Amino acid sequence: MADSETKQPQRREVDKDSLASQPQIQTPFATSEKQDATTLELAPSSPRSSISQPPEEFPELYFTYKWSNICLYALFLFFCNFIFPCILFYPLETLTSLTDHTVVGISSAALGLSSCFDSPLRLWRLIKFRRIYGPFEDDVWWHLDFSMWAYTIALFIFAVPLAIAPGLKLFDFFLMSTVLLVGPVGVIFLFSTFGLKVPFRCSSDPAGSQMKPAVFYLIEDVASVDFQHGRDFRRTLYRRYHASPPFRRLMMNLTIYWVISSAVYCGATAAVTWTTPFRFAFGYTLGQLFIWGALSAVGCKLLARKGLRDERKWLQSRKEFAMKERSQETIV
């Protein structure tokens, strides 16, 4: 009888031409056999094997990158913000009759060189390809992500001593320019730890949401835009944040860590500025920024690994508890 026949679902034919015409996320940092790439697994290796944990409740995060790209960008920053200013400052100071404020003015122009490239490029990618890389559930072109706003605010404050200190001969103020770059970011990170509801968007969080720790937004934005993992990474990161209490604790701990680290940097730079000769302090304060960044990154990596290990232990304990409950139900 027709009523007793099993109805089979109809297969839907896929139009290959339509698929080819759809925009795809380009990820030059993705791993392959021919590329020298590194994958960071930010989740347990096989959550799908869990009996008690549905896969959609504990999503995996994979962040891929190439060491060569990171090293080249680091060298670019190092050249623009340390080597080039020192090449200009010390020979001009020693071998010419130019005044100090003229030499400082020439050298300070090099400090903003890197931001003239990376900031416009990131802004262009975020606006032009917003539906690929931008915050999800919001396609307004001028709604930038958290990292873009924080970086822009810090750059404007950083530009103040570079613009006025050489002309007014406020050389100590000039040496504090890197403090005015790191300090505002540290203040924003500190504010995010209070978890207040903010009347503006923070990346993919709509206005009126409780603010998450700043490191969470930084990971979301940098991975999605700068490393071109797109909106899928943003969505997965949000699911991971809501599914894992240890992950939320890790985001808070990393944010507090960077607040403390930035405060240490500002204090150390101020001490060098006010207690050493200007010729020594000029090169040292610029180089100290990279020393601080490298040491802080090592500490951040160790703290992140510990937090992820704690998260795996938490997930494993949940699995074991659920399996024990199931075995008891089976016996009953």
What does the pLDDT look like over 177-202, one tens digit per residue? 999 999 999 999 999 999 999 999 99
CA dihedral (207, 210, 211, 215) positive or negative: negative
**Which is more confidently placed, 182 or 112?**
182
Taking a C-beta distance cutoff of 8 angstroms, is the pair 87, 78 a contact? no
Could you tell me if residue 287 is inside a domain? yes
Residue 42 has pLDDT above 90, yes or no: no
Spell out the residues 6+ positions from residue 181 whose beta carbon is closer than 8 angstroms to its own. 154, 155, 157, 158
Structural domain of 97: 49-326
**Which is more confidently placed, 81 or 328?**
81
Could you tell me if residue 257 is inside a domain? yes
How far, in Å, CA of 290 to CA of 265, rounded? 11
Residue 273 has pLDDT above 80, yes or no: yes
Could you tell me if residue 3 is inside a domain? no
Could you tell me if residue 98 is inside a domain? yes
**Reported confidence tier of residue 167, pLDDT bands at 50, 70, 90:** confident
Mean pLDDT value of segment 122-146: 91
Could you tell me if residue 39 is inside a domain? no
How many domains, the chain?
Answer: 1
Could you tell me if residue 225 is inside a domain? yes
Percent of the chain residues past pLDDT 90, beyond the cut: 62
pLDDT of amino acid 332? 59
Could you tell me if residue 43 is inside a domain? no
pLDDT of amino acid 57? 58
For 214-259, what is each residue's pLDDT tens digit?
999 999 999 999 999 999 999 999 999 999 999 999 999 999 999 9
**Reported confidence tier of residue 331, pLDDT bands at 50, 70, 90:** low
- Cβ atoms within 10 Å of 295's Cβ, excluding its own: 13
Could you tell me if residue 62 is inside a domain? yes
Among 68-72, 236-240, 270-274, 324-328, the minimum mean pLDDT is found in 324-328
Residues forming a β-bridge with 65: 38
pLDDT of amino acid 44? 39
How far, in Å, CA of 173 to CA of 159, rounded? 12
For the chain, state the CA radius of gyration.
25
